[in-house]
């Protein structure tokens, strides 16, 4: 049975740096308020009209392909993790295929919608495809453009100050050498808390779940839902705009409490699957949602500062892109070396969470 290994990696972030101080010009907040609650100092935003989720992914992908020393035509599967696709449909995977200029290869391209856990879900999927012989060279991308869909007013500050744009990509290839391969993976979800961290409008639910589960703060208004013939109208309408329902929603405390519990659990679960203990871990690269969460997890597990890589202070939360960007930077900075035991872990909307234990195979 073949194993899977990361042979190439790259990341790309837009050139536009937006500091906490910049955000004070459009909402009531402060650099101190943002740093204290999130650890974020700045983030990157795209140039509107010139960059998209897929174009960020293209830049990261080209770097990963070059780093792996392969031709783009060698790729036999594209996995694209994002919660901010260019279009509602088709998915971002086929758009990236087109941007790479390999549409005529007619390889499969699929999208992963697991939010902050997207890269973990994607890497687990790539590992499974390779192990069963259905793929040999997989391009896995995590890319996000949040800046075009946030509420840049005081009303939306609790969410809007957190997120940034960026992309990271890896080439995952088949190998017979288990010593440089993915050792174990875990994926979990609990839809009980789906609305605690969500972006519900536009959407096809028409208020159904909000009524069924009595979701507070989202009273259903059926006005403008249907046209005169009784069709359409509630996927997207003026009522949603007028009532500011077209922005992300988050109950921060609920997310924090769940994250600090599930992060250590899934890391330990996956280390156990790999036959390892915390003492075997060389580097933990967690999803970059909140520096306080990552520090709490590190302290809970007894990890030293040099065993955990964080870059949220520079980029904010880039959701599915955060782990591959951090992994790419850690490699570039010499923080991980060949043979190191690396753990990737994420928790996000859904709720979804997961982890991957791998032995780093690159010099």
Nearest residue to 84 (alpha-carbon basis) of 38, 13, 18, 147: 147
- Contact between residue 61 and residue 50 where contact means Cβ atoms under 8 Å apart: no
In this structure, what DSSP letter does residue 84 have?
A: S
Rounded to whole angstroms, how far apart are CA atoms 162 and 154? 13
Rounded to whole angstroms, how far apart are CA atoms 31 and 126? 40
Catalytic residue among 11, 20, 116, 146: 116
Phi-psi region of 112 (alpha: psi -120 to 50; beta: other; left: phi over 0): beta
Rounded to whole angstroms, how far apart are CA atoms 97 and 2? 26
Phi-psi region of 69 (alpha: psi -120 to 50; beta: other; left: phi over 0): left
Active site residue 287: yes
- Contact between residue 351 and residue 196 where contact means Cβ atoms under 8 Å apart: yes
CB half-sphere exposure, 38, CA atoms < 13 A: 29
Q: In the chain, what are the helix, strand and coil shares in percent, each to the nearest 5? A: 40, 20, 40
Catalytic residue among 11, 20, 287, 294: 287
Active site residue 132: no
Nearest residue to 343 (alpha-carbon basis) of 292, 267, 269: 267
Nearest residue to 266 (alpha-carbon basis) of 359, 181, 351, 188: 188
Rounded to whole angstroms, how far apart are CA atoms 157 and 132? 46
The DSSP bridge pattern shows strands 166-175 and 182-189 to be unpaired
Tokens of 44: 């990157």
Catalytic residue among 20, 237, 294, 317: 317
CA triple 143-60-199, angle to 5 deg? 5
Active site residue 11: no
The catalytic residue positions are: 116, 287, 317
């Amino acid at each position: 049975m073949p194993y899977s290994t990361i042979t190439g990696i790259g990341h790309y972030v837009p050139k536009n740096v937006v500091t906490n101080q910049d955000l004070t010009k459009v909402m009531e907040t402060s650099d101190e308020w943002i740093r204290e609650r999130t650890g974020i100092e700045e983030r990157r935003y795209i140039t509107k009209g010139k960059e998209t989720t897929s174009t960020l992914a293209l830049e990261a992908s080209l770097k990963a392909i070059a780093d792996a020393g392969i031709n783009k035509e060698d790729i036999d599967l594209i996995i694209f993790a994002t919660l901010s696709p260019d279009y509602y449909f088709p998915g971002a995977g086929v758009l990236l295929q087109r941007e790479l200029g390999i549409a005529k290869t007619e390889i499969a391209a699929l999208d992963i919608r697991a939010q902050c856990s997207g890269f973990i879900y994607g890497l687990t999927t790539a590992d499974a495809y390779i192990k069963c012989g259905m793929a040999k060279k997989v391009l896995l991308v995590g890319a996000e453009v949040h800046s075009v869909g946030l509420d840049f007013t005081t009303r939306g500050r609790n969410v809007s100050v957190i997120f940034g744009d960026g992309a990271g990509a890896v080439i995952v290839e088949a190998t017979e050498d288990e010593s440089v391969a993915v050792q174990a993976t875990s994926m979990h979800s609990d839809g009980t808390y789906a609305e605690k961290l969500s972006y519900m409008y536009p959407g096809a639910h028409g208020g159904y779940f909000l009524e069924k589960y009595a979701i507070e703060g989202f009273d259903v208004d059926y006005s403008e839902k249907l046209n005169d013939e009784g069709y359409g109208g509630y996927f997207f309408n003026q009522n949603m705009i007028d009532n500011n329902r077209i922005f992300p929603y988050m109950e921060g405390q609920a997310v924090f409490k769940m994250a600090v519990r599930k992060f250590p659990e899934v890391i330990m679960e996956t280390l156990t699957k790999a036959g390892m203990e915390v003492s075997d871990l060389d580097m933990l690269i967690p999803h970059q949602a909140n520096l306080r969460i990552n520090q709490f997890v590190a302290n809970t597990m007894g990890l030293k500062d040099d065993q955990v890589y964080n870059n949220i202070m520079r980029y904010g939360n880039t959701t599915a892109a955060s782990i591959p960007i951090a992994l790419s930077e850690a490699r570039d900075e010499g923080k991980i070396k060949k043979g190191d035991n690396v753990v990737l872990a994420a928790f996000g909307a859904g709720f979804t969470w997961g982890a991957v234990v791998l032995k780093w195979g690159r010099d």
